[in-house]
Chains A and B, each alone.
Chain A
Amino acid sequence: MHEQTIAEMSRALAAGEVSSVELTRGLLARIERPELAGNSFITVTAEQALAEAEAADRARAAGQAGPLTGVPIAHKDIFCTNDVRTSCGSHMLDRFVAPYDATVVERLRAAGCVMLGKTNMDEFAMGSSNETSWYGPVENPWDRSRVPGGSSGGSAAAVAARLAPGATGTDTGGSIRQPAALCGITGLKPTYGRVSRYGMVAFASSLDQGGPMARTAEDCALLLDGMAGFDPRDSTSIERDVDDCAGALDSYPLAGMRVGRPAEYFGDGMAAEVREAVDAATQQLAELGAEIVDISLPHTELSIPAYYVVAPAEASSNLSRYDGVRFGHRCAEPSDVLDLYERSRAEGFGDEVKRRIMVGTYALSAGYYDAYYLKAQQIRQLISDDFRKAFSDVDLILGPTSPTTAFPLGERADDPVAMYLSDVYTIAANLAGLPALSMPAGFADGLPVGVQLIGDHFSEGRLLAAAHGYQQATDWHRQAPPGID
C-alpha cells in the first residue's frame, strides 16, 4: 500500500479499495519506525492526521471528493501550521506555534490532503545536506551513512522511504531539486510567484518558492494543482489562472520537443558517474523523439557568487525579527536590550545561519552595497538574459541537478564554500525565477542520480509533461531503496 503513488492511492480511494484512515494508519506506523524514518520528521501529528482522514472518508462518502481527498502527505517544517509547532529546523523556533496556516497548507487541506507531520530540514532552509538542522541530520534511505541533500532533506527522505507518497518542499537555491536528486524522487520548483509564500518562513524572499516532492511527475502535478494559484496575501503571487498540470500530462509530447543542453552544465565539476547517467537520460529523451540542441548559458558560473550575496542579504534582514521579544528563543536574564538581542540570537541560531546573516549584513552595509548587492543584482540580470535567449530557441533545458550523488554525512559540514559550490546547477533557476524539476535518471554505485529540466516562466505544465513522458518509458522513479520493506 505504501508503495503506491499519489495517483494510485487516489484511484484506490475512489474505487473504495482502501480508506484514508487505513492509508494514514499504515503510514503513521512506518513513520514510528526509526530505522525507516531516519529522523526525517520533526513533528508527527498522528491524532490530527487520523481526524483529517476520517473527515476525508466522510467527504468521499458524501460524494465530495477530489483527486487529493484522503491522500496523506507531509509538510516541510518551514510551512506554518495553525496550532502545530513550526520550527524551521531551528532552536530559535523550537517552541513556536503559529496562529495561522500557510496558504500552501490551507489549500492542500482544502483539497482533502491529510497532514502526517512536519519534516526535518536545514535550519531556516540554509544548507544542502540537512546537517544544519537543530533536530539533527536526516539519513538518506539509499545509504544511511549519507546525507539526503537539503534543505528539504526530510521531505525527500520521507518520500523515498515510502513514509508519505508526497511532501511539500521549498527551493531557494535548489532545496527541492537537489534532495529529490539525492533521494531518487521527483521534485518541482515552480515559477517564482506560482505558489504563495504566505506563511512560509522566509529565507530569501526574491528566491524562495514552495513546491511538490513525490515519486513521479504525475504526483507532482497533482500536488502542484492543489497548492498553486493566486493569493491576495502575497504581493509577489502571480495573478494568473493556474494550468491544470495533471490534466495536461499528455499535452506536450516529447516527440519534437526541443531540449537545450547547455555546455556550461557539462564541465569539469561534475562527477563522472553523474555525467554518465545524465548522458544516458539525454540519449533516452532523444530516442523518445526530443531534439537535443547544444546551447550556452555563459554566465552560469557567476550564479554562485551572485546567489551568495542576494540570498544572505535578504536573509540577514528577514531573520532580524527573531529577537526574543514576541516569539522564539529568549536568553536567560538579559541585562539590557542589546544583551537580549545578541545572546538570544547567538543561542537561537546555528552556525550556518549566523554565517549567512553575517555575510548578508556585510554585503548590505555602508560602502559595500554597490560592490556586492548591486553587482549581484546586475549579474542576476545577465543570468536571466541568458535564459531568455535560450528559450527563444528551445522548449526545455536539460542538465544535472547536482554535481555528485549523496555524499557521506559530515564530509562537507566544516567547509561551507565546498557545500555552496554543490548548488551550481540549481541556483540559476532561482535567480531567474524559472520553474525547474529534478527526476530520477539512473544510479551510480547504488545511489540515485537526478536530471534537471528547466523551463521558461509558467511552463510547469510542459516540464511535468516532459518528465511524465520520460517516466512512462523508464523505471528509475519506481526503484525503492533497499531495506524499506
Chain B
Amino acid sequence: MSVNLSVTLAGIKLKNPVMPASGTFGAGREFSEFFDVGRLGAIVAKTVTLKPREGNMPPRICETTSGMLNSIGLQNEGLEYFLKHDLPYMRKFKIPIIVNIAGNTLEEYAQICRDLKGIEGVSAIELNISCPNIKAGGIAFGASSRLAEQVTAAARYNTDLPLIVKLTPNVYNISKIARAVVSAGADAVSLINTLVGMSIDINTFKPQLANYTGGLSGPAIKPVAVRMVWEVAQTVNVPIIGIGGIMTAEDAIEFFLAGATAVAIGTANFINPTAMIDIINGIERFLSERGLTDIRQLVGKVRL
C-alpha cells in the first residue's frame, strides 16, 4: 500500500514533511556528499542577515546531558552573498527553498523581504525572531507579543511570499506570541527555536561558551517542544512546523500527533548526516505498518 507523505504548508507543496532546521544544514553543500538533498521536503537555509556577521567568539558549542549548547551568533556572509552564491546552489535540488532571515531592527527585516521580492527559487520566508531588537533595548523580537506582531507585520507588508515565523520558547506564554504573529499575517509558524541555557566548567570555573549562554538543542528539549507545538495547535489555525530534539521517525510522529504539519531536523544532522532520510523512511514505515495511507491522518490526532 502506498503512503502519501505530501503536505501543503503555507501554500507550498512539500513531497514529504521533513526539512532541516535553519542553521544546521548550511546551504546543503556539505550534506550533499552524504545523500540526495532533493529527497527532502524542503530546504531551509541558514539565517541570513542584511550585512555579513562574524559570529560569536569560540568556544561556540558545548555538549550537555542529552543535548548541546550553541552560540554561533548568526555567522553568515550577508544577503548579497547569499543571493549570489547560496541560493543558486540550492535551486539545483529542485525542492522548495525556505529562506530564514533575521535583523536587529524592523527596517532590516523589511529590507530583506523587499530584496527577496521576485528572486527565483525562494518559496517562503521564515522569520527568525529570536534576535534582539536594538531599538527596544535588546529584548528579542520573539519574546514579546507586541514586538513579534510588529516584526511579522513589517515583513508581511513587504513580501507576498508565504511567511513562516519561527517562535522562541524563551517566553512565558508561547500561544500568545503565536496568536500575535498569525494575526499580523503569518501563514505558518515553526517552533521551537533553542532554549537559552548555560554550562560551567567546574575545573576552570569558567562558562563553557565564550558567549556565556547559548541555545540548548537536542533530545533534552523535545518534551518542551512537543508541549509547545500542542499548545500552539490549540490556539491558531495555521500549519505548524515542529522542531526540537527530533532524532528519529518516532520523535517526529510525536510532533505530528501534537499538531505539526511538518517537522524540521536540527541537531540530529550533526550526529548522523543522513538522519533526515532515515526519518522520512521511518515515517513511511510507521504509517504503512498501521494501515494508514496519509501523513495527514496523524496531524493533531493525540487522544486526550
Please indicate whether A and B come from the same complex rather than being unrelated chains: no
Write the residues of chain B forming the contact surface with A, with a CB cutoff of 8 angstroms.
none
Q: Which residues of A are in contact with B by a Cβ distance under 8 Å? A: none
